[in-house]
Amino acid sequence: MRKLEIGTSVRGRKIMAYRVGDPTAKVKAVVLGAIHGNEKAGITVARAIRKADRKKNGERGRIKDVDLWVVPTINPDGVVKNRRQNARNVDLNRNWGVKWAPLSSPYYSGKRAWSEPETRAFRKFLKQVDPRFVVSFHQPLHGVGTTDKRPAFVKRLARQLGLPIKPFNCTGQCHGTMTDWVNGRLKGTAVTVEFGSRPRGKYLRNRAVRGTIRAVLGRLP
Ligand SMILES: [Zn+2]
């Protein structure tokens, strides 16, 4: 399966995942372009990764050594409106069932953990794939977030992407985040990557693509 509908948003928009690379590779990874609808740089990277995987004859699989799932966004309603939250005003990166707490706008965390279809869909997908690496793109803090789980992965990402390592503290509201859920509940390691406020398109389509693929132990000829 090269393309999978992993769920639908509050407004009924499809949430899609695209499989690139080598489906038989031992290392599985997931790249999430955008969880916040007004942070679109990662969607550009996601699109460019899919393009980089395409061979001249249109066949897929140019990326080697990694079984890579690309999810452009789990927040299609937010992307359409160019806003951080989903259609019910929930910050989808505060709605996960790890240290969930009631938070108010702009970090409104929903009525309860898992209240939103987008977070439930991505949880199910992540459990199914059970990836070793998850890369979650954001803006604009310019850096790669720390994690205790696989520091070598963080270092690799930072070096490959040319970004500094920073201890992001969820803007002081570290509750119910996707990366904490992955790191606490799955075997894999999730890392936050923050591009700047206006990263150059050339950087996103070239270095960010190669760097992300290399950091998840893939290879692009
Ligand atoms: Zn964000």
Q: How close is the Cα of 129 to the center of ligand 1, in Å?
A: 23
Q: What is the pLDDT of residue 160?
A: 98
3-class SS of residue 155: helix
- Give pLDDT, residue 172: 65
Residues with CB under 5 A from ligand 1 (ion): 36, 39, 138
CA 78 / ligand 1 centre spacing (Å): 12
8 DSSP 8-state letter: E
pLDDT at res. 171? 63
Ligand 1 centroid to residue 67 C-alpha, Å = 25
Regarding pTM above 0.75, the answer is yes
Domain 3-215 fold is Aminopeptidase (3.40.630)
Dist. CA 217 → ligand 1 center (Å) = 25
Each residue's pLDDT expressed in tens, for the chain with a length of 221 residues: 699 999 999 999 999 999 999 999 999 999 999 999 999 999 999 999 999 999 888 888 999 999 999 999 999 999 999 999 999 999 999 999 999 999 999 999 999 999 999 999 999 999 999 999 999 999 999 999 998 899 999 999 999 999 999 988 776 678 999 999 999 999 999 999 999 999 999 999 999 999 999 999 999 98
Tokens of 69: 């799932």
**pLDDT tens digit string along 84-143?**
999 999 999 999 999 999 999 999 999 999 999 999 999 999 999 999 999 999 999 999
List all residues 6 or more positions away from 160 whose beta carbon is below 8 Å from its beta carbon.
207, 210, 211, 212, 214, 215
Distance 102 CA to ligand 1 centre (A): 18
Distance separating alpha carbons of residues 133 and 207, to the nearest angstrom: 19
Centre of ligand 1 from the C-alpha of residue 40, in Å:
10
Distance 35 CA to ligand 1 centre (A): 7
Distance 36 CA to ligand 1 centre (A): 5
Q: What separation in Å is there between the alpha carbon of 62 and the centre of ligand 1?
A: 30
- Give strand pairing partners of 71: 32
Contact status, residue 123 vs residue 114, Cβ threshold 8 Å: yes
Predicted confidence at residue 111, as pLDDT, reads 98
- Strands in 143-145's sheet, in edge-to-edge order, are 3-8, 14-21, 67-73, 28-34, 133-138, 189-194, 143-145, 165-166
How far apart, in whole angstroms, are the C-alpha atoms of residue 33 and residue 47?
9
C-alpha 34 – ligand 1 centre gap (Å): 7
Beta carbons within 10 angstroms of residue 209's beta carbon: 24
Q: Which residues lie closer than 8 Å to 51 by C-beta, 6 or more apart?
A: none
Q: Residue 184: helix, strand or coil by DSSP?
A: helix
SS3 50: helix
Distance from Cα 72 to the centre of ligand 1, integer Å: 14
The pLDDT value given to residue 174: 85
Distance 12 CA to ligand 1 centre (A): 22
Q: What is the rounded CA–CA span in Å between residue 120 and residue 8?
A: 10
How many A from CA of 177 to the centre of ligand 1?
10
For residue 96, which of 81, 69, 74 has the smallest C-alpha distance? 74
E strands, 54-209, are 67-73, 133-138, 143-145, 165-166, 189-194
Predicted confidence at residue 59, as pLDDT, reads 87
